[in-house]
Amino acid sequence: MTEQENTTTYEIVVDSEFEKLIPPPTEPEFAGLEASVLRDGCTDPLIVWHDHGILIDGHNRKKICDKYSLPYKTTDLSFASREDVKRWIIERQFGRRNLTPFQRAELALLLKPMLAEEAKKRILSGKANPEDSESTGVHFGKTRESLAEKVNVSPHTIDKAEFIKRHADDETLDRLRRGDVAIKTEYHRLKKEASQTEKAERKAAPVSIPNDEKLRLDVCDIADAASKIEPESVDFIITDPPYPEKYLPVFGKLADFAGHALKPGGSLICMSGQSYLPEVFQLLNESGGLTFQWALSYLTPGGQSTQLWERKVNTFWKPLLWFVKGKYSGDWVGDVVKSAPNDNDKAHHHWGQSVSGMRDLLDRFVLPGQTVCDPFLGGGATAVAARQCNCRFIGFDIDESCLKTTRERLAGGCHD
């Protein structure tokens, strides 16, 4: 790069691609620059790409000088290519003190492919160590860190800005460039919106399930359930075992069944009463194949509360204990599940839950086409909710009448 200063005797060309690389000033900043030029003249020369006559620095000063017919000087710089000019323009902006963090991150994103390509070329030519390219100032595989150091923002800020650039509208980008809102704030908002949109699209995706796979009901005790189902064939076990103390052993058998039936990453979500919650948790946690993930709250607003006389408590909620086989990799979920008000449905089973509550629970987790199992079928609320979500459903119960009730509910169209 060579430099030459002169008084302009030719028409300077404004290249739109080059101009867009320069963050525009705010209205107050431009007004201040205009007042300075009118008072003192254009004291700094405009910089032009030599032999091309293309302006590469001083766009705003030129606009002001042209508006008021003021003279200005130019300095010519020579470059080998347009890419060299673009990199020079971008790196020159780093010295501006009035840049917001988002403007700095945007400049880093413009520079990122240039530095990566430069490092790649030098490595392929054999002029740089593949592990450490000191000659380019870019460490191979560490372009992100090098960029962050150049623009004086963190690598994570650059990552967030890159996501924002892909998802934000023009109004949001302008607010970020002005510094009216923090990068972190907009990143989390857009990330949440993108996740919700993606989840809604996945749930709305058409999935065709063969008729013979939509529903399977069997009379079966939880102790024998593993023999009725292929290993690692179920996405979710969502169930509500009986709560009295004499039934506590079924929770241990449920955990063993979940270890057998769940796919890697699959979830067991088990409703429980509160009276023996420590014992229930211990029994579920003893299975070597399951890891405790979280406890959700299942609310039953309105209606008659359950009275626990021995504890002197009126309760309107139940715990949902969530265990995972391996590592959970699904969506974020809210941990408060609700049935519709006054929908404490006991019409189909004396221990039954409402379809509205089970549907709210399933909507937080399942996707169409997945397999849901309830080995304590009862009145079939989980079956109805699962079919409403277009899931495959497998249900077990020791009582044949529970299977009959569930078939009648589904045949009645309540799953549509």
**Rounded to the nearest 10 degrees, how much is the dihedral formed by the CA atoms of 401, 403, 409, 415?**
160
Query: What per-residue confidence (pLDDT) applies to 141?
Result: 47
- C-alpha distances in Å from residue 379, one per residue of 123, 253, 267, 304: 68, 21, 22, 20
CA–CA dist 294, 174 (Å, integer): 40
Query: What per-residue confidence (pLDDT) applies to 64?
Result: 97
- C-alpha distances in Å from residue 250, one per residue of 119, 254, 280, 295: 62, 6, 9, 19
Q: Do 190 and 364 form a contact (C-beta atoms < 8 A)?
A: no
> With a threshold of 0.85, does the pTM exceed it?
no
CA–CA dist 47, 189 (Å, integer): 41
Q: What is the pLDDT of residues 163-212, one digit of tens each?
A: 999 999 999 999 999 999 999 999 999 999 998 888 888 888 889 999 99
Query: What per-residue confidence (pLDDT) applies to 323?
Result: 97
313 backbone dihedrals φ, ψ, rounded to 5°: -135, 135
Q: Do 284 and 268 form a contact (C-beta atoms < 8 A)?
A: yes
CA–CA dist 266, 233 (Å, integer): 9
Extract the tokens encoding 113: 């492919």
CA–CA dist 119, 208 (Å, integer): 49
Q: Which of 206, 184, 203 is nearest to 195 (CA)?
A: 203
Query: What per-residue confidence (pLDDT) applies to 306?
Result: 76
Query: What per-residue confidence (pLDDT) applies to 96?
Result: 81
**Residue 388, CB half-sphere, CA atoms under 13 Å: how many?**
20
What class does CATH assign to 211-411?
A: alpha beta
Q: What is the pLDDT of residues 110-120, one digit of tens each?
A: 988 887 787 77
305 backbone dihedrals φ, ψ, rounded to 5°: -75, 155
- How crowded is residue 212: how many other Cβ atoms within 10 Å of its Cβ? 7
pLDDT tens-digit profile, the chain (416 residues): 555 555 555 689 999 999 999 999 889 999 999 999 999 999 999 999 998 999 999 999 999 999 999 999 999 999 999 999 999 999 999 888 789 999 999 999 998 888 778 777 777 777 655 555 444 444 444 677 878 888 889 999 999 999 999 999 999 999 999 999 999 999 999 999 998 888 888 888 889 999 999 999 999 999 999 999 999 999 999 999 999 999 999 999 999 999 999 999 999 999 999 999 999 999 999 877 899 999 999 998 876 667 788 888 888 899 999 999 999 998 889 999 998 876 666 666 667 688 999 999 999 999 999 999 999 999 999 999 999 999 999 999 999 999 999 999 998 875 54
Q: Which of 99, 21, 4 is nearest to 56 (CA)?
A: 21
- C-alpha distances in Å from residue 282, one per residue of 262, 317, 381: 20, 21, 27
Residue with tokens 């860190």: 145
Domain boundaries, the chain: 1-93, 97-204, 211-411
Q: Do 283 and 255 form a contact (C-beta atoms < 8 A)?
A: yes
Which CATH topology does 1-93 take?
3.90.1530
- Tell me whether strands 3-7 and 73-77 are parallel, antiparallel or unpaired: antiparallel
CA–CA dist 143, 18 (Å, integer): 23
Extract the tokens encoding 307: 């009275």
